[in-house]
């Protein structure tokens, strides 16, 4: 038989045991919650690190990467060939500098460029293709360029000599007047440019005279003759003109 004291003691032991069990269970629950919160915080931190790393990578690529969006640039003006006047201006400037390499770039590759000492263009006048033109300056070779007006004597000169008398005989890059497909200087020689070069156009650079005593009879002109192919103007003639008998 269990006495009252023994029963009370057992009851107290049972209660203490049960209380101890509850404390342990509570501690386990708290530990489990702490672990879950730690995992949750760790996952959040890991996600933030991933986002930051991805953003940094994107920024670096953004600095170095080429924008895939094509830039539309209007090239209509830059791709169009020069006009007749623009082409002539480049040629006359090259002649002023005696830059035959630049002049050769404008010469028709097959027709070449024909040099005429007077307004009337003739078949026997000298013609040079681009590769020949660049080698004329400084050459000692003498050519027959035509015949002198009045005497009919042959014009036999080196290119450099002919250049001074029948090409750049005046500062034609800074002329007194210019004209397109119109003759300014009027003399006794016929202007047959359009007949000799069908479909051609020319730009004339003109001086009305230099010495007052000659009353304009010392006028000079230089005509640059071009033909157009596929929108490009090619130099085919350099025609000098002056007062003739």
Residue 186 to residue 243: CA distance in whole angstroms: 7
Pairing state between β 143-147 and 154-157: antiparallel
pLDDT at 45: 56
Shared domain check, 83 and 13? no
**Domain CATH code at residue 189:** 3.10.450
Shared domain check, 219 and 120? yes
**In total, how many domains does the chain have?**
2
Residue % of the chain over a pLDDT of 90 = 62
What SS3 class is residue 179? Answer: strand
Asked whether the beta carbons of 95 and 104 are under 8 A apart, the reply is no
Residue 26 to residue 21: CA distance in whole angstroms: 9
Shared domain check, 210 and 126? yes
Shared domain check, 42 and 114? no
Q: Which residue is it, tokens 């730009």?
A: 203
Shared domain check, 146 and 67? no
Shared domain check, 177 and 114? yes
Two structure tokens written together for 187: 């003399």
Shared domain check, 151 and 235? yes
Shared domain check, 216 and 161? yes
pLDDT at 54: 44
- Please state the rounded mean pLDDT for residues 210-219: 93
Residue 43 to residue 50: CA distance in whole angstroms: 10
Question: Residues 6 or more apart from 87 whose CB is under 8 A from it?
Answer: 106, 226, 233, 235
Exposure pattern of 50-86 as b/e (b: 16+ CB <10 Å)? Answer: eeeeeeeeeeeeeeeeeeeeeeeeeeeeeeeeeebee
Under the banding of pLDDT at 50, 70 and 90, the label for residue 77 is low
pLDDT tens column, 186-203: 878 899 999 999 999 999
Shared domain check, 158 and 58? no
Q: Given 14, 41, 72, which residue is the final one in a domain?
A: 72
Burial class of residue 93, CB neighbours in 10 A (0-12, 13-18, 19+): middle
Shared domain check, 101 and 10? no
Which of 59-63, 138-142, 173-177 shows the lowest per-residue confidence on average (mean pLDDT)? 59-63
Residue 55 to residue 188: CA distance in whole angstroms: 84
Q: Given 22, 53, 72, which residue is the final one in a domain?
A: 72
Q: Which residue is it, tokens 């006359």?
A: 92
Domain, as residue range, for 200: 76-242
Q: Given 39, 72, 105, which residue is the final one in a domain?
A: 72
Shared domain check, 158 and 140? yes
Phi and psi angles of residue 222, each rounded to the nearest 5 degrees, phi first: -130, 130
Regarding pTM above 0.95, the answer is: no
Under the banding of pLDDT at 50, 70 and 90, the label for residue 76 is very low
- Please state the rounded mean pLDDT for residues 30-41: 54
The larger pLDDT score, comparing residue 5 to residue 136, is at 136
Shared domain check, 122 and 43? no
């Amino acid at each position: 038989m269990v006495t009252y004291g023994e029963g009370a003691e057992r009851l107290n032991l049972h209660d203490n045991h049960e209380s101890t069990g509850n404390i342990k269970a509570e501690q386990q629950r708290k530990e489990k919650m702490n672990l879950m919160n730690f995992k949750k915080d760790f996952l959040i931190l890991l996600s933030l690190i991933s986002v930051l790393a991805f953003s940094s990578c994107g920024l670096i690529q953004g600095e170095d990467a080429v924008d895939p969006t094509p830039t539309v640039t209007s090239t209509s003006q830059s791709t169009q060939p020069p006009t007749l006047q623009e082409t002539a201006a480049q040629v006359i400037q090259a002649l002023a500098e005696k830059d035959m390499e630049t002049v050769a770039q404008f010469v028709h590759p097959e027709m070449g460029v024909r040099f005429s000492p007077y307004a009337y263009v003739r078949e026997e006048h000298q013609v040079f293709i681009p590769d020949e033109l660049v080698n004329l300056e400084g050459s000692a070779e003498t050519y027959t360029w035509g015949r002198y007006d009045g005497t009919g004597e042959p014009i036999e000169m080196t290119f450099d000599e002919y250049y001074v008398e029948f090409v750049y005989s005046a500062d034609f890059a800074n002329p007194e007047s210019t004209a397109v497909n119109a003759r300014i200087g009027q003399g006794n020689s016929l202007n047959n440019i359009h007949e000799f070069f069908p479909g051609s156009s020319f730009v004339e650079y003109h001086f009305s005279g230099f010495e007052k005593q000659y009353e304009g009879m010392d006028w000079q002109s230089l005509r640059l003759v071009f033909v157009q192919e596929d929108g490009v103007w090619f130099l085919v003639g350099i025609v000098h003109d002056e007062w003739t008998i």
